[in-house]
Amino acid sequence: MMEQTTRRSFFQTVGGGLALGLTAASYRALAGVSPNERIQVGFIGLGAMGTGRLKGFMQHPDVLAAAVCDVDRDHLDRAVAAVEQKQGRKPQAFRDFRKLLEDKDLDAVMIATPDHWHALPTIAACKAGKDVFVEKPLCYSIGEGRAMMRAALEHKRITQLGTHIHNDYPNYRRVVELVQSGMLGKVKRVYCWITSSDRSLGKPADAPPPAELDYDFWLGPAPKRPYNPNRSHRSFRYFWDYSGGIFIDFWCHYTDVVYWALGLKAPKSVSAAGGRFFQDDNAETPDTIEVLYEYPEVILTWTVHPRGRPGFGHMDAGVIFEGSEATLATTYTRHELYVKGKKVEDFKRPEPTIPDSPGHIREFLDSIKSRKRTTCDIEYAYTLTKGGLLGNLAYRTGERLYWDDQRQRIAGHSQANKMVTRHYRKPWRLA
């Protein structure tokens, strides 16, 4: 384990942020604990997911939520109140993540901004010596993911992707053990799917942004657009400027178990088809999509559809491993084995080989102290997220794309390669 004094030596100078009158060092003094006993965490992005993460982190007694940051004043006020209620005092509060990162007493940050805002705070945090917990998907573009990974490795930061299913549900561990035991035989086909919503978002008119939202900062590196209620907060994911729809939202959660069980890396080729067939609204990303991946010796199909996957109506979403001897279907919490099309209720399971997890957030906190890699660190996160991003590129170009992982580019397709790293709106740039 890395000595606490060594870990703290980076954070000797009290940060310059004095919002609400207290530094992180002051929090520790008032809390009556040694500076080495608590991990100082700053929280960037405090919408629904970010607030949930904030509360999750504060469940751990060795965490001090020392700072919060959001471009929406209502989100920020709510977060300050939640911290005060739990910890008995207010955290520092910021509207600009760069100000939060100036506090050299922070050990780590949690980033739960919209997808298009994952890269810049992550890179800046790594450069500032903070460990990083960042929500999935890791990044908006492949180029961002590469830059994030380089920053984390160069600055030797502990990182964790917010794919909490990986650690918070033991079912995935049992599935990986079953697949790797050989019980299914050779697995050459895998199906992933999720049931998309058929609820329309409607077509609200453009309007002035609400007073509590710094809309220009919210857009950040994304193109300048008129404010529309559907293009921010909870529904931002359905617009290409900010994310990649329900497909990329759930890609990491479900494809995680496939990459884990089969040791997948990068696909050789990707093709996709679909559209927004069921919803009449102003959103852009498809509510229906079929993505076909060719990996070495494995074909993976990803389906998003309001009716789910035929034959598995009892599962809203899941993964099917089709082996030469048996088929395994899994959701987050349970799995089913089929032999020759018939469900097998009782079968001999392999001995457990994957240790139980202390929990996704707990693993990150323990790794901050030990300096040991987490199971969903940024290298794994980049490998995993890259596949989903390539699927969306194939859909948007309407062509089969061939990925050259060694050169980190799409072979023979200049249009798609221009989309591998997005063009940032000034003054933002990907460092």
Residue 43's DSSP bridge partners are 68, 110
CA-CA-CA-CA torsion sign (166, 168, 173, 175): negative
The b-or-e profile of 312-337 (16+ CB within 10 A means b, else e) is beebebbbbbbbeebbbbbbbeebbb
Q: What CATH number was assigned to the domain covering residues 4-166+373-378? A: 3.40.50.720
* Cβ atoms < 10 Å from Cβ of 199: 11
Parse the chain into domains and list their residue ranges. Answer: 4-166+373-378, 170-350+381-418
pTM for this one? Answer: 0.90
- Both tokens of 253, joined, read 């959660």
Q: What CATH number was assigned to the domain covering residues 170-350+381-418? A: 3.30.360.10
Q: Would you state the pLDDT for residue 108? A: 98
Q: Would you state the pLDDT for residue 36? A: 59
Give first-to-last CA distance, the chain, whole Å: 32
Q: Would you state the pLDDT for residue 311? A: 85
> Tell me, what amino acid is at 266?
A
DSSP string, 167-235: HH-THHHHHHHHHHHTTT--EEEEEEEEE--------PPP-PPPTTB-HHHHHTTSPP----GGGSGGG
- Both tokens of 86, joined, read 């739990």
Per-position pLDDT tens, the chain of length 431: 333 333 333 222 222 232 333 443 443 444 444 555 799 999 999 999 999 999 999 999 999 999 999 999 999 999 999 999 999 999 999 999 999 999 999 999 999 999 999 999 999 999 999 999 999 999 999 999 999 999 999 999 999 999 999 999 999 999 999 999 999 999 999 999 999 887 899 999 999 999 999 999 999 999 999 999 999 998 999 999 999 999 999 999 999 999 999 999 999 999 999 999 999 999 999 999 999 999 999 999 999 999 888 888 889 999 999 999 999 999 999 999 999 999 999 899 999 999 999 999 999 999 999 999 999 999 999 999 999 999 999 999 999 999 999 999 999 888 899 999 999 999 999 97
Instruction: Indicate the SS3 state at residue 109.
Output: strand
Rounded CA-CA distance 126/111 in Å is 12
